[in-house]
A = this chain, B = another copy of it.
Amino acid sequence: MISRSTKIAIIGLGLIGGSYAKGLSKSNYNIIGIDIDEETLKFAKDYKWINEGGNNPELVSDADIVIFALYPSDFIEWIKNNQKYFKKNAIITDVTGVKESIISSINEILRDDVEFIASHPMAGKEVSGIKYSDTSMFNVANFIIVPTEKNTEKAISTVKDIAEILKFKNIVILPPKEHDLIIGYVSQLTHVIAVSLMNCRDSDNLVNYTGDSFRDLTRIAKINDKLWTELFILNKNNLIDEIDSFIQTLEHFKNALNIENKEEMKKLFNQSTERRKRFDKNETTSN
């Protein structure tokens, strides 16, 4: 169990790291913040979201728990260069949106006397930076813990504690392979669709003719280019399968339309309607 004397380091105080610091400090946990940006550190200190902070990796040496909220490539780089500063038996976790490759990259290089337990808070916004930090996004979001057979119960329960302190709506455990397969569909494919819908036409003159549905489908087309390029490449095979499967579904619909097969079109509409309704039920029961 995490206690008030547990020291938690957060590395990277962007939107997610900043929101973690905000939420954990509000519950009176002892937070060390590490970031390369002076203004970000000042912001976190001014709001008392961190007890101490700086640019120096040595600051982790007191931390019992270290949370990485960096881009995947920066996370791996940081471990390579600075893991010597970790406290013995420290528990390391992250917020990365894909898991199989990151878990294998980290475990390959990580010291034997610390433990990496992967987690994925499924929360985000179309903006970045500490000043947009907002813990309310966690209250409607899933938190996925992604253990391997090497992880201890202690490490799993530690990240579960963090998710509970941050008031995530729902905490689930998934194996890495299954996590990445699901994320390829529910998160990554949806982002590819939004970006492609926005890109497939020069839509500047269409602003006056769009309704809610177009706006809803393209909201996530405002996207962090560096982060999502990394996440997509790290889950490339799954995502390509999902895009292919989606294109096939579109082609099937197009063919039904082309030959004016009304029965098939209605069947497809009824299927999507029934499936989507089950998500409404879930929205009702879980809110």
Contacts and interface: CB of A to CB of B under 8 A. Distances in A.
A6 interface: no
Interface residues of A, number: 90
A152 to B, nearest CB: 25
A182 B209 contact: yes
Contact of A279 (B185, B215, B247): B215
Contacts of A189: 197
A254 B240 contact: yes
Interface in A215-268: 215-226, 228-229, 232-233, 236, 239-240, 242-251, 253-254, 257-258, 260, 262, 265-266, 268
Count the copies: 2
B225 A279 contact: no
B185 A229 contact: no
A215 B249 CA distance: 19
Interface stretch (A31-39, A74-82, A106-114, A139-147): A139-147
11 contacts: A142-B210, A142-B211, A185-B203, A186-B209, A186-B214, A192-B253, A199-B271, A202-B275, A217-B217, A225-B270, A225-B273
Query: 6 tightest CB-CB pairs across the interface, nearest first?
Result: A225-B269, A200-B249, A198-B272, A221-B272, A225-B266, A195-B272
